[in-house]
């Protein structure tokens, strides 16, 4: 895997801010079987990928989501998230944004040119994450606490997952950022979930359909 080629992408995937002014989010980290999940599929036009999300998630255009950010976040938060989204939007592939107005959670997915990676690559991916987090801390009061980082897969499918808690005095709420990189069937997707509370989203990812 060419890490230099994907350094910027991995970096910008790790800073996202939840649009929730209310700390009483309903999200949880309960373990839920993928067979019993309440939700619906969303179709990604450029690749035919189908993602399964909770019912409350609604697709947003970049412009509409930026207007939402402007109304709910601080000036600094807005600047950070807008820069991240613009960078994602300029990359090869397509960016899709979904927002849950019930709890302020944001789900983004980028379709990308395919690349495979192995378990041996996971420490390097984590190293890039930590390096980027340290750079962010130099220009803000953000503090990053790693919750988990893991690799799973084989020659046909690979998944890397990292969860960080992001906190800071300038932020309205602490945020849990869950990032996934999934490669399978000649496709690669980059996913990030931002929530006020830690949430186990793996069962929803288990239902993703890559074609």
Domain 3-17+36-205 is of which CATH architecture? Answer: 3-Layer(aba) Sandwich (3.40)
Write out the chain's pLDDT in tens, 211 residues: 554 445 445 555 555 555 655 544 444 444 455 677 899 999 999 999 999 999 999 999 999 999 998 888 778 778 777 877 887 888 888 999 999 999 999 999 999 889 888 999 888 888 877 777 777 777 677 788 999 999 998 888 999 999 999 888 877 788 898 989 999 999 999 998 989 999 899 999 999 999 8
Q: Whole-angstrom Cα distance, residue 94 to residue 154?
A: 26
Q: Whole-angstrom Cα distance, residue 162 to residue 99?
A: 20
Buried b / exposed e over 177-205, threshold 16 CB at 10 Å, is bbbbbbbbeebbbbbbbbbbbbbebebbb
Cβ(125)–Cβ(50) under 8 Å? no
Residue 198 is encoded by which pair of tokens? 């830690």
Domain boundaries, the chain: 3-17+36-205
Burial class (CB in 10 A: 0-12, 13-18, 19+), 156: exposed
Please tell me what DSSP assigns to residue 101.
T
What predicted TM-score, i.e. pTM, was given to this entire model? 0.85
């Amino acid at each position: 895997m060419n890490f230099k080629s994907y350094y910027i992408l991995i970096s910008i995937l790790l800073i996202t801010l939840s649009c929730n002014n209310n700390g009483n989010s309903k999200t949880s980290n309960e373990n839920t079987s993928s067979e019993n999940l309440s939700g619906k599929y969303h179709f990604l036009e450029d690749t035919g990928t189908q993602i399964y999300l909770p019912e409350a998630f609604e697709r947003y255009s970049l412009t509409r989501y930026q207007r939402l950010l402007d109304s709910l976040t601080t000036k600094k938060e807005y600047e950070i998230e807008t820069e991240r989204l613009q960078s994602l939007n300029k990359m090869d592939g397509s960016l899709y944004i979904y927002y849950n107005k019930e709890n302020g959670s944001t789900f983004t997915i980028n379709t990308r040119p395919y690349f495979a990676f192995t378990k041996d690559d996971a420490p390097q991916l984590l190293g890039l994450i930590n390096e980027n987090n340290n750079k962010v801390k130099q220009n803000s009061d953000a503090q990053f606490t790693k919750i988990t980082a893991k690799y799973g897969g084989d020659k046909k499918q690979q998944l890397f997952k990292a969860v960080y808690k992001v906190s800071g005095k300038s932020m309205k709420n602490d945020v849990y950022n869950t990032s996934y990189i999934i490669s399978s069937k000649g496709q690669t997707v980059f996913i990030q979930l931002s929530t006020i509370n830690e949430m186990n989203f793996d069962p929803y990812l288990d239902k993703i359909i890559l074609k």
